[in-house]
Structure 1
Amino acid sequence: MPYKVLVVDDSTFFRRRVAEILNQSPDLEVVGDARNGKEAIEAVKRFNPDVVTMDIEMPVMDGISAVKEIMRSNPVPVIMFSSLTYEGAQATLDALDAGAMDFLPKRFEDIARDRKEAVELLQQRVKTLGARKIGMRPYRASSVSSNLGGSTATTFLRQRRESSGTNLRESAAPIKPLTSFRSSGKRYKILVIGTSTGGPVALQTILTKFRGGFPYPILLVQHMPGTFTSAFAERLNNVCEIRVKEAQDGDVLSPGVAYLAPGGRQMLVEGTASRASITITDVHNSELVTYKPSVDLTFSSVARLYGGDVLGIILTGMGADGKEGCKKLKSHGATIWAQDEKSSVVYGMPQAVASENIAEKSIPLSEFAEMIQKEM
């Protein structure tokens, strides 16, 4: 059975264009469309789709308001279409806080080198989210602000862990409960985290629980367009006790500061472990490097500089970026943890390191912050 898709946009042309692309895949079927958020809410009830593609700016009711209501009454994975502007980034982050699981730019040429690649990417992202509808339940809004880690998406992940829903795979490494976790006693010099789809909510969930005075620098690699990372870093900085900034060329790593790799470029570390600095470069932008920023490239540079004095973490995300970088870290004696399947929006990146026994632990999202602080 193909995944059923609802397309929501106020542009007739764009709705038709998205529908044509999705219907080219035998695994996808566009079952309906809507012109605004209000129509989208009713269409979700009527068509019971597996995935919704949602515009942000629409008349009558905007996409963010529609996502909030859909997640409250008839939860379904939502992928947002966004403009690649600072304002578009802020709105997209609001939509992710409201419960949307992924986003793509409305200009398809911005996400791929050619039309064929863009079509395949859109189809794959929708199919991946279609598989995540299992276990989603209505969410009752709490008094906790979504910007403090209480987003609908986070709540769904918690509900899925507590539910008795069927596991989609048995390949994940066994989960070690937090109550049995004890620090290894190992000494570290840096924390590095890589993530993609579902990462903004996951990073926010973890970093907002870190206490001020975190003893080591933190490197964050999140697959995002260049115009989004500055807005995301600003948002994290506003809600975290630790300082969060978009990394800049020449930044000297300081304890208690999280450096977010800028979208569209690569973040490397150079110098010495006692005085490391960040290099932001385009030199690795080749056919062999799919992601900009790339978790593999950043983690590999950390391995060369810090050896085994690293705690490396791979969170939710599509694909396998981070596997090779984690292998290099592991070969130097670094500690690698991965997010578990049940709490991942997309299990691709964590599975890539867990299935090859690179990760020592598979951990629920809700337990990362405390475990990291106990370990470091």
Structure 2
Amino acid sequence: MAAATKVLVVDDSLTMRALISGALERIPGVEVVGLADGAAEARQMVTALHPHVMTLDVEMPGMSGLEYLAEIMETRPMPVIMFSTRTTAGATDSIEALRLGAMDCFPKPRVAVPAELDAIIAKLGKRLKAARNAEIKNPASAKTVTASSIDWNGRLLVVGGDASSTATLFDLLGTFPANCPPTIIVQHLDPGLVEGMLVKLTEKIAPRVVMATDGMEIEQGTIYFAPPGEHHLVVDAWPAGKLRLLAREPVAGERPSISLLFAAAAKAATTNAVGVLLIDGSEDGGTGLKALNAAGSYAFAKQEGGGYALSRNLVTQPVASNALAASILKMCSK
């Protein structure tokens, strides 16, 4: 039997510490090893208890959760899952936490009852399992060099990820020049965070970033994000294609679906598509990667333990994480 995932809970509220730890203890294979009321106590407990994962409150007094998260990623990188209120300011802070390297950001209960956490326990359990073995880096300290321009070869870029991919997306898209390949992204985020993601990216990167709408033309120099809610996002043709929103049932439990976007790109663009899956072992995305490979497209897939595999048809080669951006731009350039 695998050893339990040890979790340290950090929150300035005694009530929230009890609620969060109580929810975590209901997840099989999870052991809460400590409860800290702030950064100072958490530092001591990290040294003494060696947790695998930390849950951290965004809005703590004194040293805020964001400040402590930045310190963790700089001095002792480890998987961190944030808890935040869902106000406008809270959503902005949540995106910043994800950009700094947090694995995910969950909403705090609005009232102090265990039932408020029931809805997220299943997702939290999956995230904790993935977090323990995640590749942790300090994206905020990495130097991102933006390419001056590319001589685009006509290939369509499609990308899939989730909340844990946020730091990678900022790093990746930060290297893209203003005339980047047309890029369509499905990122599984809490609906309240998607707009904040677009706002933050617009501040940080050179290309234009927009929320996709039905019938929107696909143009070079633009990055299109799937809107949250009731629709899948696909492309109807390539070249000269348009984006389409489809009101269909979830695929692999997700809507919008990464696999459906990848499969649509494979059908429309065949060998003129490049797919990038930023999450490993994903239920949503694997089928889409197979469709891209069957069409003769290039596909980058994140590997457990770090790095990516670049495949086309039956040929596969490894790609280091720090070479992903350059490799993608190479595939999209003449």
Instruction: Report the residue type matching 2:190 in the other structure.
Output: P
Whichever residue aligns with residue 300 of structure 2, its letter is W
Q: CA deviation at 1:266?
A: 3.4
The superposition leaves residues 82-126 of structure 1 with CA deviations (integer Å, 9 ceiling, x where unpaired) of 2344422210122223332322222499xxxx9766323222322
Q: Does 1:229 find its partner at 2:194?
A: yes
Moved >4 Å (runs of 4+): 114-117, 144-150, 356-359
RMSD (Å) for aligned C-alpha atoms: 3.2
Separation (CA, whole Å) in 2 of partners of 1:279 and 1:50: 42
How many angstroms apart in 2 are the aligned matches of 1:262 and 1:285?
15
Does structure 1 conserve the Cα–Cα contact (< 8 Å) formed by 2:296 and 2:313? no
Task: Supply the distance in 2 between the matched residues of 1:108 and 1:2 (Cα, whole angstroms).
Answer: 29
Structure-2 residue corresponding to 1:360: 316
Matching of residues 123-272 of structure 1 within 5 Å: 123-132=125-134, 149=144, 188-214=154-180, 216-272=181-237
Partner of 2:238: 273
Q: Report the equivalent of 2:149.
A: none
Task: Tell me the equivalent position of 1:178.
Answer: none
Secondary structure of the structure 1 residue equivalent to 2:61: coil
> One-letter code of the match for 1:264?
G
| Contact 2:100/2:140 (<8 A) preserved | no
Corresponding position of 1:285: 249
- Name the CA distance, whole Å, in 1 between partners of 2:268 and 2:50: 51
CA contact (8 A) 1:245 1:260 kept: yes
Could you tell me which amino acid in structure 2 is paired with residue 205 of structure 1?
A: D
Identity %: 30
1:337 aligns with 2:306: no
How far apart in 2 are the matches of 1:255 and 1:130? 38
- Structure 1 pair 102/364, CA: closer, same or farther in 2 (3 Å)? farther
- Counterpart of 1:294 in structure 2 is 257
Secondary structure of 2:133's aligned partner: helix
Contact kept? 1:8, 1:33, Cα under 8 Å: yes
User: 2:271: which partner in 1?
Assistant: 308
Q: Per-residue deviation at 1:64?
A: 0.7
Give the counterpart letter for 1:258 in structure 2: I
- 1:30 is aligned to 32
**TM-score relative to the length of structure 1:** 0.74
Paired letter, 1:300: A
For residues 132 and 339 of structure 1, the distance between their equivalents in structure 2, rounded to whole angstroms, comes to: 11
Alpha-carbon distance between aligned partners in 1 of 2:144 and 2:8, rounded to the nearest angstrom: 28
| Matched residue, 1:93 | 95
CA apart distance, 1:244: 1.8
Q: 2:81 aligns with which of 69, 79, 82?
A: 79
3-state SS of 1:308 partner: helix
Matched position secondary structure for 1:272: coil
1:175 maps to which residue? Answer: none
- Read off the aligned partner of 1:62 and give its amino acid letter: S
CA distance in 2, matches of 1:223, 1:306: 24
Question: Gaps spanning 5+ residues in structure 2: where?
Answer: 146-151
* 1:176 aligned residue: none
